[in-house]
Amino acid sequence: MKKTLIALAVASLFYVSDAMAQTATTTGKRARMQQDSTHRRGDRGGLNFREMEQLTAKDLPASTTSFIKSKYPNAEMKRIAKSKDNQYFVVLTETDKPRHMLIADSKGNIIKDREMPARKGGRHGDKKQS
């Protein structure tokens, strides 16, 4: 009887310690992902639009506005923001075309023009009208 109780106690200790080890590993991974905020935000250098100064189209430098009008004449500027290091971020949308993110320096020169991946459902997902 004693041996059975001791065996159960040892087995339960292994189970508890294994569960705690898995929790610690998962928690550690989350902490590392939070520290390295660039893992999902790519070009924005870990910045989130909510953390930036929100602007309107008339706040953009003239060279950036002229670039947008020439290259994307039918595009709508969905989001415009300015980071703390004076870079401008503009999200453009056009009907039936992929979204684009433009990044411009403080003088309005386009640093990067990249196509953004399509949204997949969720709270901000593009809704199709039937």
pLDDT tens column, 83-129: 999 999 999 999 888 999 999 999 999 999 999 877 665 455 544 44
Looking at per-residue confidence, does 47 or 100 come out higher?
A: 100
Model confidence at 25: pLDDT above 60: no
Could you tell me if 90 and 64 are in contact, meaning their C-beta atoms sit under 8 angstroms apart?
yes
∠46-94-37 over CA atoms, to 5°? 10
Percent of the chain at pLDDT above 90? 44
* Residue 76: both structure tokens together: 């709508």
Residue 46: CB partners within 8 Å, gap ≥ 6? 36, 37, 38
Confidence of residue 32 (pLDDT cuts 50, 70, 90): low
Q: 44 pLDDT exceeds 70?
A: no
Q: Is the pLDDT higher at 33 or at 2? A: 2
H or E element, residue 11: helix 2-35
Q: What is the mean pLDDT of residues 33-59?
A: 68
